[in-house]
């Protein structure tokens, strides 16, 4: 790998940043706090923050907030992860994806100041994001946690903010464990003392009580949820999106309480968010197809359930499923939820990802579930072998969805 002084472009710089720590994730805020101090703590200069944690719905919630705020005329900066196609997607200034020059210069500046010290990729890129946000102030700043909450790199943010907790369930068990109480405590670790918290709908027993107890302990005000009529049109498909929209409106109105119903309704209608139950109508990969093509980044059981519920609202038909999943996901449970709606499964590897389900592992699962399946070497081959008249669903990973969008 090249040294920092040999790096010539953004791609090379991102590769370099990935080499600074032996693990992709290692929960410890000491490293990021040390580096932030070298920049005089830019995170403390960011204002009007909505900090979002949870298992499912974080990105959609932020998309709803951003859309309403845009209609209202606000300047909004956002930080999300992961990205679908390009890293730049993670950082948006006033709604626009950050340009290569500004991103490269800031990341290089941060890497230089870091001086080769051990720090994870997410930590050092989060420092760069906060530095950028401190230099380009906005009316509102939306920050999504990377993983967990309590020890997530974004949780160095100042206490003056609003915390929003979306639906909590099982995911990333290799880092967060499989104890739902502990997972919940990690997620609600973003709640700061004496600051408002918005708690979204929770479908797991005891989760909401744990969050409320934690909020009360920190003397944080629990905000009553804004009620969104079910006959309002949302720009994102899926019944579950009403839950995310509710969190979004509730949190936004804590800063801008005078936003009127007309603005809220328009913002909810105009929202878009790639890779979340998204209907694809054109593109080179599907140019010959005559039936519906859906892509969705669902990769855990709650995501599969939300997807399954949406499929039930569409024209009754069996789907051909193209799936690729990371090894730390529950592929059997995921497919079991969708089994009744699937005609056959095409399994594929995910590009640029090492820890994935192999063809033999998928075959063992589909055989057990009595689902017809076939493995293909790549996404293109799988799509080519789907009948043009079959309904096609591509899901199982945001990385897979990103690969489709990039190639299509």
Contact 271, 64 (CB under 8 A): yes
pLDDT at 355: 84
User: Is 22's pLDDT higher than 90?
Assistant: no
d(C-alpha 272, C-alpha 237), whole Å: 10
The three-class DSSP label of residue 142 is strand
Contact 357, 330 (CB under 8 A): no
Correct CATH for 4-270 of 3.40.309.10, 3.40.50.300, 3.40.1190.10, 3.40.50.1000 = 3.40.1190.10
pLDDT at 269: 98
Average pLDDT over residues 30-58: 96
> Which pLDDT tens digit goes with each residue over 76-104?
999 999 999 999 999 999 999 999 999 99
Domain ranges of the chain: 4-270, 278-407
Assign residue 26 a region: left if phi > 0, alpha if psi is -120 to 50, beta otherwise?
A: beta
> Which pLDDT tens digit goes with each residue over 148-191?
899 999 999 987 889 999 999 888 777 777 889 999 999 999 99
Q: Going edge to edge, which strands form the sheet with 96-97?
A: 96-97, 91-93, 76-79, 140-144, 49-53, 162-165, 197-199
Average pLDDT over residues 211-239: 95
User: Is 41's pLDDT higher than 70?
Assistant: yes
User: Is 262's pLDDT higher than 80?
Assistant: yes
d(C-alpha 330, C-alpha 344), whole Å: 19
Q: Per CATH, which fold does 278-407 belong to?
A: 3.90.190
Q: Which helix (H) or strand (E) holds 15?
A: helix 10-17
pLDDT at 23: 79
Least confident span in 22-26, 223-227, 401-405: 22-26
Burial class (CB in 10 A: 0-12, 13-18, 19+), 228: buried
Which neighbouring-strand residues pair with 293?
A: 392
d(C-alpha 342, C-alpha 408), whole Å: 23
User: Is 258's pLDDT higher than 80?
Assistant: yes
Q: 1 falls in which pLDDT band (50, 70, 90)? A: low
> Which pLDDT tens digit goes with each residue over 325-362?
999 899 999 999 999 999 999 999 998 777 899 999 99
Output the average pLDDT for the chain: 94
Q: What is the pTM of this model?
A: 0.95
User: Is 237's pLDDT higher than 90?
Assistant: yes
- φ/ψ of 401, rounded to 5, equals -60, -40
């Amino acid at each position: 790998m090249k040294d920092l002084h040999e790096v010539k472009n953004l791609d090379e710089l991102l590769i370099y940043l990935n080499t600074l720590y032996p693990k992709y994730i290692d929960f410890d805020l000491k490293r990021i706090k040390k580096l932030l101090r070298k920049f005089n703590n830019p995170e403390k200069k960011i204002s009007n923050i909505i900090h979002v944690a949870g298992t499912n719905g974080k990105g959609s919630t932020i998309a709803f907030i951003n859309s309403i705020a845009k209609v209202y005329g606000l300047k909004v900066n956002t930080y999300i992860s992961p990205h679908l196609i390009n890293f730049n997607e993670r950082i948006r200034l006033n709604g626009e994806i950050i340009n290569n020059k500004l991103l490269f210069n800031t990341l290089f500046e941060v890497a230089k100041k870091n001086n080769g010290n051990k720090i994870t990729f997410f930590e050092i890129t989060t420092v760069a994001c906060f530095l950028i946000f401190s230099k380009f102030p906005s009316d509102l700043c939306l920050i999504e946690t990377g993983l967990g909450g309590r020890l997530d790199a974004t949780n160095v943010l100042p206490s003056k903010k609003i915390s929003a907790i979306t639906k909590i369930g099982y995911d990333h068990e290799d880092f967060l464990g499989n104890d739902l109480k502990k997972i919940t405590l990690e997620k609600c670790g973003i709640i700061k003392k004496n600051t408002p918290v918005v708690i979204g709908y929770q479908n797991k027993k005891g989760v909401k009580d744990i969050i409320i107890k934690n909020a009360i302990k920190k003397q944080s005000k629990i905000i009553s949820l804004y009620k969104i009529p079910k006959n309002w049109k949302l720009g994102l498909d899926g019944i579950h999106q009403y839950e995310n929209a509710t969190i979004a409106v509730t949190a936004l109105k804590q800063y801008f309480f005078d936003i009127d119903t007309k603005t809220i309704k328009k913002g909810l209608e105009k929202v878009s968010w790639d890779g979340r139950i998204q209907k694809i109508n054109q593109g080179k990969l599907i140019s010959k197809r005559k039936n519906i093509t859906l892509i969705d980044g669902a990769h855990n059981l709650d995501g599969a359930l939300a997807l399954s519920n949406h499929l039930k609202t569409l024209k009754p038909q069996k789907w051909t499923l193209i799936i690729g999943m990371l090894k730390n996901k529950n592929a059997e449970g995921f497919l079991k939820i969708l089994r009744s709606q699937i005609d056959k499964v095409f399994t594929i590897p995910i590009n640029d990802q090492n820890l994935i389900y192999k063809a033999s592992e998928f075959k063992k699962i589909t055989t057990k579930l009595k689902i017809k399946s076939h493995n293909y070497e790549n996404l293109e081959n799988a799509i080519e072998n789907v009948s043009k008249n079959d309904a096609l669903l591509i899901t199982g990973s945001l990385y897979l969805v990103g690969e489709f969008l990039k190639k299509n």
